[in-house]
Amino acid sequence: MSLLHVAILSPFLFAILVPFLYKYFRKVHTGWFVLILPVLLFAYFTQFISSNMRGETIKQTASWIPSLDINFTAYIDGLGLLFALLITGIGALVILYSIYYLSKEKEQLNTFYVYLLMFMGAMLGVVLSDNLIVLYTFWEFTSLSSFLLIGYWYKREKSRYGAQKSMLITIFGGLLMLGGFIMLYMMTNTFSIREIIEKVPEISQHELFIPALVLILFGAFTKSAQFPFYIWLPDAMEAPTPVSAYLHSATMVKAGIYIVARFSPVFAGTPEWFWIVSAFGIFTMFWGSFNAVKQTDLKSILAFSTVSQLGMIMSMLGVGSAALAIDSIDNSVYTVATLAAVFHLINHATFKGSLFMVVGIVDHETGTRDIRKLGGLMSFMPITFTISIIGAFAMAGLPPFNGFLSKEMFFTSMIRIIEMDVFNVETLGLLFPIIAWIGSIFTFIYSMVLVFKTFTGKYQPEKLEKKPHEAPIGMLISPIILASLVIIFFFFPNILAYTIIEPAMASIIPALLGDEKHFHVHIYAWHGFTIELFMTIGVFALGVLGYFFLRKWRGVYKLVPEKLALNKGYDAALYTLDKSTFKITRFYMTGFIRDYLAIIFTFFILILGTTLILTDGFSFSLEGTAPIGIYEAVLAVVMVIGTITVLFAKSRLTAIIALGSVGYSLSLFFVVFRAPDLALTQLLVETVSVALFLLCFYHLPEFKKKEKKLNFKLTNLIISLGVGTIVTLIALSANSQRVSETISTYFIENSYKLAGGKNMVNVILVDFRGFDTLFEIAVLGIAGLGIYSMIRLKVRKGEEG
């Protein structure tokens, strides 16, 4: 395993240490220990910038399950490096911010940082994995860890609801994406993304190509909160603000963006990819910005603004995908959208991260996020106000902030759609610049609402839980750094152009690689009096009017019936599912074991019996069988007598002894068949079972010796005879026909050669089916932990929830 693998897995490894650090260093905030890791990882990943600028990639493989073509292949190219730097860089700032935001006296910091490190490691695994199955494994880890982080304050009903909602939607998309990955494997016979890209010309006409495309986009859209799956993101704002700043601005929600960018070389040359990604993206951009304006909670405004900004990036990736549908690359027309997407990805992380931290500061120092209760905080929190101005104006696309540069590129990419001569964009493509412009107006309005409704206007101390004051300097460091980057990237954007953006673009559009097609990114603020500039002026003018007359036109939101909201549909669907499954469960969960056995055995008879009939699977032959000896016959008779005795015994002791005789007779069968290990195991298990039965029955009430007739039940007789008949027929058929050579030969020949063991049974359990044994032990361990947790669980009176 290489150092790169260790870097990816280090957050998981460090998470193991966090509970011990929390326990033994209670006087020190646990975040200080955790902060060291992302700082070191960020420094480690920066060393790859120079090699990526030269077009070099780093690939390290650790063998995992080579027989299934599943290996942990870590791969660093421009796109993976960009996300790795965001994950570790923003992660370090978020952890520094959380040290001052979360009190070590009031919060369970050990669980918080364990979850956060799990998420960091999972995100690194997603963006740096070349193998589809490994990528998917880390992908689901992001869903699990984000579920734990969103539900961190689990005593709050809204936190539990938001965590469940995010997990259900994102895991649903993840399962569909797994189906797309399997289809790619069926087409290419490889799980390697690099190898799949090389085989694109061979698979582009395959019948599974478009279904794989759609399923993978389901996964990307659910994770990146695209319409109509965005509904989980606003409810996820119940998480602590450091979680929102990390997951919902810079990392988790951009995992879907990463998937679209990573698989662009595979699917981007198709009209389906262009229209689905572009159309859903641009509509999400409009819908998110439109709904952000009506919110009254600061984090809700940022949640819908994140939905909008993600849709904006997604639409640019969709438009940029047209570059792979033509023979030559025209930088001015086709690559500007991809450039804008990558640049805005970085910009969004800086200004949105700082805004989430600002909102956290306001909530921390005033006790509320409701803009109807806020106002006039500018004089109390001047530094926080300054940071919010920088972040909000960048989000609105105003100079001199980095959001202005990428927003201008966004307008350019939308306008250039009209110039394209692919995918029949001359029809619906005309709507793209219109929707983009209208959505930008709403973006401007909610950006102004975020700042001015909070920091200007009338001060309302009677509505605040705390007397407002400026946050401590430690809580301000991280947002100040991010706000500084917002300004720096405006005045010096090309420090990113050559180091980060160019290599990332080359990963998304491989045609940009090579000496003949090599391109150069150069970003500058002034382009003259262009259409884009006039669109920006229009956004500013109408945005100002919209903000000042917000009360007069806000009634438009009431025109949409509340019952038609997607959240209502989700809640109704979940309620219907819960109610219907409850009825079904009540139907068969009667509380009686005999009913459960009857249901299980009935299905057993129907399924296996039908299979035997339809496949003509029954056969009977005595060829090759050994003769039955006197010992086997005697033991069989003893087992039958013991079984019948259990059924009709009137004494508990008699029933236990009879049952024990069945088990001990079976162990003697193993002795006769020369399987001493199995015989010893059976003897031990049977002895323990008999002893436990005797111990349990000893403490039961006295057995009432009342004569009671056994009721005859035809149903029980039919089920009993049916199960016995089916099992007998299957046993006879399995022994009478061989579809292939017996596997026992393989074990006899290879037990010692491959595993170094002379005891074949032990070798099978420990080596050949080692994973099965391992998972059985894991299941027992999980059950034990669950029982232990239930025993240790203490419910205190008066606790919330």
Residue 19 CB partners (closer than 8 Å, separation 6+): 110, 114
Q: Does 797 have pLDDT greater than 70?
A: no
What is the DSSP-derived secondary structure letter of residue 108? -
How many Å apart are CA 22 and CA 760, to the nearest integer? 47
pLDDT in tens, 232-263: 999 999 999 999 999 887 788 999 999 999 99
Q: Percent of the chain having pLDDT more than 70?
A: 95
What are 370's strand-pairing partners? 297
User: For residue 223, how many other CB atoms are within 10 A of its CB?
Assistant: 31
How many Å apart are CA 514 and CA 512, to the nearest integer? 7
Q: What is the predicted pLDDT for the residue at 47?
A: 95
Q: Does 542 have pLDDT greater than 80?
A: yes
Q: Which of 140-144, 387-391, 499-503, 590-594 has the lowest mean pLDDT?
A: 590-594
Residue 160 one-letter amino acid: R
Q: For 301, what's the count of Cα atoms within 13 Å in the CB-facing half-sphere? A: 28
Residue 23 one-letter amino acid: K
How many Å apart are CA 195 and CA 93, to the nearest integer? 36
Residue 383 one-letter amino acid: I
Over residues 52-68, mean pLDDT: 89
Over residues 294-299, mean pLDDT: 94
Q: What is the predicted pLDDT for the residue at 801?
A: 43
Instruction: Please calculate the CA angle 771-71-169 and round it to the nearest 5 degrees.
Output: 80
Task: State how far the alpha carbon of 549 is from the alpha carbons of 121, 396, 445, 598, in Å.
Answer: 47, 18, 11, 70
Record the pTM. 0.82
Q: What is the predicted pLDDT for the residue at 696?
A: 79
Q: Percent of the chain having pLDDT more than 90?
A: 62
- What's the chain's average pLDDT? 89
Residue 478 CB partners (closer than 8 Å, separation 6+): 93, 94, 96, 97, 353, 354, 357
How many Å apart are CA 735 and CA 731, to the nearest integer? 6
Where do the H-state alpha helices sit in 335-401? 336-366, 382-396
How many Å apart are CA 88 and CA 83, to the nearest integer? 9
How many Å apart are CA 731 and CA 713, to the nearest integer? 27
Of 707 and 424, more confident: 424
Radius of gyration, CA atoms only, the chain = 33
pLDDT confidence of 517, banded at 50, 70, 90? very low
pLDDT in tens, 597-634: 999 999 999 999 999 888 887 887 777 677 888 888 99
Beta carbons of 150 and 252 less than 8 angstroms apart: no
Over residues 104-122, mean pLDDT: 93
pLDDT in tens, 665-719: 999 988 888 888 788 888 988 898 888 888 877 777 765 655 555 566 788 889 9
Q: Which of 76-85, 362-371, 515-524 has the lowest mean pLDDT?
A: 515-524
Q: What is the predicted pLDDT for the residue at 742?
A: 77
How many Å apart are CA 396 and CA 441, to the nearest integer? 8
Over residues 255-280, mean pLDDT: 94
Instruction: Please calculate the CA angle 137-141-146 and round it to the nearest 5 degrees.
Output: 155
Q: What is the predicted pLDDT for the residue at 426?
A: 76
Q: Does 331 have pLDDT greater than 60?
A: no
pLDDT confidence of 66, banded at 50, 70, 90? confident
Q: At what angle do helices 209-223 and 271-292 cross, to 10 degrees?
A: 20
What are 192's strand-pairing partners? 131
Q: Does 526 have pLDDT greater than 90?
A: no
Over residues 713-734, mean pLDDT: 88
Q: What is the predicted pLDDT for the residue at 299?
A: 94
- In our burial notation (b when 16+ CB lie closer than 10 A, e otherwise), range 611-639 reads eeeeeeeeeeeeeeeeeeeeeeeebeeeb
How many Å apart are CA 495 and CA 501, to the nearest integer? 9
pLDDT in tens, 425-455: 877 888 999 999 999 999 999 999 999 999 9
Question: Residue 343 is encoded by which pair of tokens?
Answer: 């640049």
